[in-house]
Structure 1
Amino acid sequence: MLTDRQVRIARGAREWVAEHGEEPSLRELAVQSGLASLSSVHYHLRRMRDQGVVIETRGRPSGRCPHCGH
């Protein structure tokens, strides 16, 4: 179950990709989701990843195959 902040982060990431055609940076994601702290965004992204919800950001490789996603 995602928290309200995590839902805002996920929604902000989707909106950013729809508008710009690429993943947001941590800073852009913080602004897009209305959070002031980059460390807060990073914390929530880590917790979301633990729950199986992966939000990609620019500047940090995911370790997944760019072609098939695995």
Structure 2
Amino acid sequence: MSRQAAGLSARQEAVLRGVREWIAEHGEGPSLREIGARVGPSSTSSGAYQLGRREEPGFISRTGRCWRTCRLHP
């Protein structure tokens, strides 16, 4: 199932793309501020909300409390 078929908004897709690119470049997940800098101005709480909503359907998982521990799932 594609992400668009899963009902992701353009903003949610941009956040996931930003996380994917950051992990590819740095080898670890980005902080909320780094996500905001990459995908556009937003508050850290908005970024946390967007990422948290992606955890439920299984797009993202974390091994700790920090978003730097996030991993994307295909």
TM-score by length of 2: 0.67
- Equivalent residues of 1:13, 1:55 under 8 A apart: no
Moved over 6 A (4+): none
Q: Does 1:25 align with 2:36?
A: no
Q: Which residue of the other structure, out of 27, 36, 45, is the alignment partner of 1:39?
A: 45
Deviations 1:5-53 (A, max 9, x none): 1100100011111112221111111111113211111111111112221
Structure possessing the higher relative contact order (Cα contacts under 8 Å, 6 or more residues apart): 1
Q: How many residues align?
A: 60
Which ranges of structure 2 fall in alignment gaps of 5 or more residues?
1-6
Bigger share in strand: 2
Q: Does 1:9 align with 2:31?
A: no
Please name the residue that 1:67 is paired with: none
Aligned to 2:52, the other structure's residue is in SS state helix
| Cα separation, 2, equivalents of 1:55 and 1:5 | 19
Aligned to 1:23, the other structure's residue is in SS state coil
Which ranges of structure 1 fall in alignment gaps of 5 or more residues?
63-70
Supply the RMSD in Å over aligned alpha carbons. 1.9
